[in-house]
Amino acid sequence: MTARVEPDDIYVALVAELARTAVPTGIMGITLVGVGLFIARTLQDPMLLAAAVIGGVASLGKLTLITLQGYRPARGAGTRAEARVWDRAHLLVTVVVASCIGTVAGSAFLQPDVEMQMLATGLLFGYCSGVVTHLSVRPGMAIAALLLAALPAIVTAGWNGSMSHGILATMFGLFLLGAVQGVFTAHRNTARQIALRLDMAALAGRDALTGLANRLGLHDAFRDRHQSSGEAVAVHCFDLDGFKAVNDRYGHAVGDALLQEVGLRLRGLLGASALAARTGGDEFVVLQHAVHDAETAEVLAREIV
């Protein structure tokens, strides 16, 4: 059984959602450092002190990553390869933070002090709820974070031996299962919404009659092509001689069929080398990419005619 691979545009959009988690990341970082330092000082435990400090540094690293990623959409959505770099960077800092939270929470449940266990419980539930809400766009990352944060507390609470701690460990385990289910549900809903949004954006830039780009689609294609490569392009503009007479003599249904045929022929001629758009009535524009000289543009112009 193979894992389902998300389409490139949906994957890129899902990874981009990770840049919207600055506020919860900051809140969680402050909480982790505060609770971790308090428990470490109370227990005089250098391991917990290290976990609190490392977790705080990782949270700062994640905030920096979010800030850098936040500037990326202004330069285009990016490719799947670029999104994968951001995805892996987020995974790294998330694993570090979750591991630190798991260390602090697990150590707290080894102690008889109920106050520390209450603090650890609040820390754990706050983090896990944030993971389900904000990291479910990357389910693998979210589930890894949930397991790393919650399993140490479940194990140490169950290891404590008392009936109340056994019940608590069972509750944590059931909540963890529910959180995992919540991650998959939230991811599925978010992916569906993004797919719908992308479809609507594509329709907004497409001519309904011919299936070619419209003025908006042409504008976006020119802008994106220029920003991504800066290469020279050729713009071919033409209309259909005698088109009004076709409509007048044979009716608009035949005129529409003629426009559709022109669109079909343009798509067959151009392939991926250029973009064709219908900008009005019988007016068409072809945006030719990677034009090295005037002769290259002239060859395509003759083929279009």
Note the pLDDT tens digit of each residue in 19-57. Answer: 999 999 999 999 999 999 999 999 899 999 999 999 999
Residues of the chain where predicted confidence (pLDDT) is lower than 70: 1-4, 72-77, 161, 225-230
pLDDT at 74: 45
- Sequence-distant contacts of 41-45: CB under 8 A, at least 24 apart: 42/113, 42/116, 43/107, 43/111, 43/116, 45/107
* 262-287 pLDDT tens trace: 999 999 998 777 899 999 899 999 99
Q: Which residues contact 257 (CB under 8 A, 6 or more apart)?
A: none
Q: Tell me the C-alpha to C-alpha distance, in Å, between residue 74 and each of 44, 195, 198, 227, 273.
A: 48, 21, 17, 10, 25
Confidence (pLDDT) at 76: 45
d(CA 120, CA 169): 13
Q: What count of Cα atoms within 13 Å lies in the side-chain half-sphere of residue 138?
A: 25
Give the pLDDT score at 227. 60
pLDDT number for residue 111: 85
Model pLDDT, residue 203: 79
**250 three-state secondary structure:** helix
Cβ atoms within 10 A of the Cβ of 304, count?
18
Tell me the pTM. 0.74
| Cα 60 from Cα 30, distance rounded (Å) | 10
Q: What gap in Å lies between CA 44 and CA 138, rounded to an integer?
A: 37
Give pLDDT, residue 2: 40
Whole-number Å distance between alpha carbons of 296 and 292: 7
Q: What's the one-letter identity of residue 60?
A: L
**Tell me, what's the pLDDT at 4?**
63
Residues 137, 190 contacting (CB under 8 angstroms): yes
